[in-house]
Amino acid sequence: MPVITDANVLIDYIESDISILALYSDKIEQIIIPSVIVDEVEQLSLDDCENHGFLVIEEELEILSNAANFHHGPLSFEDKVCLYLAKSLENATCITNEKVLHKFCVQDNIPVKRGLKLLIELVEAGHLEADESIKVVCLIRDSNPHHIHQGVVDEFIRLVTT
C-alpha cells in the first residue's frame, strides 16, 4: 500500500533524519511524493528523492485541475493535490500532520496517518530501535516545537516503549 506524504511531514524528517523515511519506504510501504510537493519543499531535490528511494509522481491533469478548482476550506493547492492523488490511487494512504487535510481524508474515506506513526510502525516491525526513534522524535520536536510539543513526545515514548 503506497503512502503519499505532504510537505510538513517531509520537512520534519528532512530537519531530523531523512534516512528514516528512506527506511520506511524500503521496509514498510513505498513513499510517494507528488511533484508539486517536491517543488514546494526547498530542502529536497529530485536527486534526493531518487537517492532515498522515494517515488515522485507527476500528477495527471485531472488531479491538478481538481486541486485548482474545488474548494476544500483552507487547504493549500499542494494539500489538495495530496488529497486527490490519494483518492486516485488504489489503497493509498495520506501521511500528514495538517489537521484540515487529515479531516478531509477521513471524510473521503482515505486512509490517513500522522507523520510520527511511520516511526512507530518501523519500531513495531523491528526495523528501528525504540531509542533511535525517540532521538528522531526529539529532533523533530526541536525543529518544529509548535506542532510537536513535549506532550506529543511523551505519548510517543509511551507507545514505543510499552
Tell me: the pLDDT tens digits for 20-69?
999 999 999 999 999 999 999 999 999 999 999 999 999 999 999 988 98
Residue 67: which of 37, 43, 23 has the closest Cα? 37
pLDDT at 85: 94
pLDDT value of position 66: 87
pLDDT at 74: 87
Domain span including residue 41 = 1-162
Burial (0-12, 13-18, 19+ Cβ within 10 Å), 31: buried
Lowest mean pLDDT among 4-18, 64-78, 91-105, 145-159: 64-78
C-alpha to C-alpha distance for 50 and 54, rounded to whole angstroms: 6
Give mean pLDDT, residues 14-19.
Answer: 94
| Domains in the chain, number | 1
Q: Is the per-residue pLDDT at 2 higher than 80?
A: yes
Q: What's the one-letter identity of residue 108?
A: D
pLDDT band at 137 (very low <50, low <70, confident <90, very high): very high
Pairing of strands 93-95, 112-113: parallel
**pTM > 0.75: yes or no:** yes
Mean pLDDT of the chain: 93
Mean pLDDT, residues 87-106 taken together = 93
- 10 Å Cβ neighbour count for 12? 26
We report the CATH number of the domain holding residue 21 as: 3.40.50.1010
SS3 assignment, position 55 = strand
> Cα-flanking dihedrals φ and ψ of residue 34, to 5°?
-60, 145
